Amino acid sequence: MKKKIIIIILLIATFKTEAQTSVLKVADSLLSIGNYQSALVKLKSIKSPSLKVLTKTAGIYQGVGDYTNAIVFYKQAYNLSPSDKIKEKIGRSYQASGNSSKAIELYEEVLKAKPENRLLKYELAKLYSNHLKVNKAIDLFSELSKKDTLNPNYQYQLGVAYHKLGQKGFYDSGNHFLKTYKIDSLHLKSIYNLVKFYKKLKFKDSTSLFIDKGLKINPKSVSFNQLKVKDVFLKKEFDTTLVYLKTLEELNSKTMFTYKMYGLTYLKLKDYEKAKSYFRIAQTIDFKDVNVLYNLGLVNKALKNYKEAEMNFLMSINFQRPDVDANYYELGTLQLEQKQLKKALESFTKGYENNRKNYLILFQLAMLTDDYYKDKKIALKHYKKYISSFSTRHAASTLYAKQRIKEIKKELFIKGERVD
């Protein structure tokens, strides 16, 4: 009798296994034509799913950006058969969803068991770097760079991490960006950072050299064309400045920077009518920009439009505010460190209202609203503003903002919410 029962149990188990294998094949065929929703329906119809079914379901959810459900099914798979591999996948889902603290916690646990996992160390190091654990990031990136001396990105990430230490890490950041370039002479991000590095050191020849290297690799780069505009303008090569401003227009970079530089260039060339027309365009972007108003005053003065010039100068004075944005920034970061998120949000908001040119505050405001509010449209607005106004100021922040814009848009699309 017992033998019969065992045989029946084995037959049932075999039947279930074959049935689930069949469903997996159907799901794979549906996925091959992009019909992931029907594939999920098939997989979720199984009453007692196997490890393979659970991980397949979780993987589909992760692939379409539904990280909450991905985590749910990966956790079910982990409970069925605990493994570091699944724990890592749960961590990656948390990371993609924006819950970096949980991702860091899981990655650290996996690396205790498998310290040789370099790919995971790299992900963890980037998370450390982005979440104020810079020294930990430096330690990991240094370890990785010693094990793989030919990987330029390890050196680049070291440069980014040291840069976050401010003046303390300034020279180290430049040295690592230079090491990156020596390993890979086409590494645009390192070249861009070397431009900023040498510019701060006031090494004009080196600054120009790396701007030209960047443009040679990517002539259509808005960032490098903007750098070139400033470079040749400061050299008083105004005809060349106009050439690169024209390039920016052709690249559809119709920004405040472009029109202000057009206005300044024509002002230097004493073509006052053209200077005035471009400053007027700049005013349509920001009517209260005090530099535009001041330069319009100079233009109208040169054209003997004295009443207009007087109005321009008066407005440039009235629109100037006391610079307290730096104070609000420091207050906000202090409150952030103490987990006083609401207070930090208020400080960053006030700081940005005081000075809308402070890109550091805007980026902090974007990240904090991303963490604080469930409505991701608020953060999306700030990230978009950061990209449109400050994409050339800090490469790592720009990269992060662009990635979050993509992820948030994807999340909103999946939820069926409209995104402008």
Contact (CB, 8 A) for 187 and 200: no
Rounded Cα gap, residues 7 and 9, in angstroms: 5
pLDDT of residue 31: 65
Euclidean distance between CA atoms 334 and 329, whole angstroms: 9
Rounded-to-integer distance, Cα 62 and Cα 97, Å: 10
- Which residues have CB under 8 Å from 318's CB, separation 6+? none
Angle of helix 51-63 relative to helix 2-32, nearest 10 degrees?
A: 20
Tell me the DSSP string of 80-99.
Answer: HS--HHHHHHHHHHHHHHT-
At residue 54, the pLDDT reads 86
Tokens matching residue 375: 């409505």
Judge residue 333's burial from the number of C-beta atoms within 10 Å of its C-beta, 0-12 exposed, 13-18 middle, 19 or more buried.
Answer: middle
Whether 93 contacts 75, CB under 8 Å: no
Convert the pLDDT of each residue in 274-326 to its tens digit.
999 999 999 999 998 989 999 999 999 999 998 898 998 888 877 877 778 88
> What pLDDT shows up at residue 39?
77
The per-residue b/e assignment along 293-319, b for 16 or more CB within 10 angstroms, e otherwise, is bbbbbbbbbeeebeebbeebbebbeee
Per-residue pLDDT of the chain in tens (420 residues, 90 and over written 9): 455 455 444 334 443 455 566 666 666 767 678 777 887 877 778 878 888 888 888 888 898 889 999 999 999 989 989 999 999 999 999 999 989 899 999 999 999 999 999 999 999 999 999 888 999 999 999 999 999 999 999 999 999 999 999 999 999 999 999 999 999 999 999 999 999 999 999 999 999 999 999 999 999 999 999 999 999 999 999 999 999 999 999 999 999 999 999 999 999 999 999 999 999 999 999 998 989 999 999 999 999 998 898 998 888 877 877 778 888 888 888 788 878 889 889 989 999 998 888 999 999 999 999 988 888 899 999 999 999 999 888 888 899 999 999 999 888 888 877 666
CA distance 14 to 17: 5
| DSSP label at residue 321 | -
Inter-CA distances, 351 with 164, 288, 358, 373, Å: 21, 17, 8, 19
pTM of the full structure: 0.69
Helix, strand, or coil here: 33?
Answer: coil
Please name the residues in contact with 45: beta carbons below 8 A apart, sequence gap of 6 or more. Answer: 23
pLDDT value, residue 21 = 66
Q: What is the DSSP string of 325-349?
A: HHHHHHHHHHHHHTT-HHHHHHHHH
Domains of the chain as residue ranges with CATH: 2-107 (1.25.40.10), 116-184 (1.25.40.10), 186-253 (1.25.40.10), 260-320 (1.25.40.10), 325-414 (1.25.40.10)
Structure tokens at 214: 């960047």
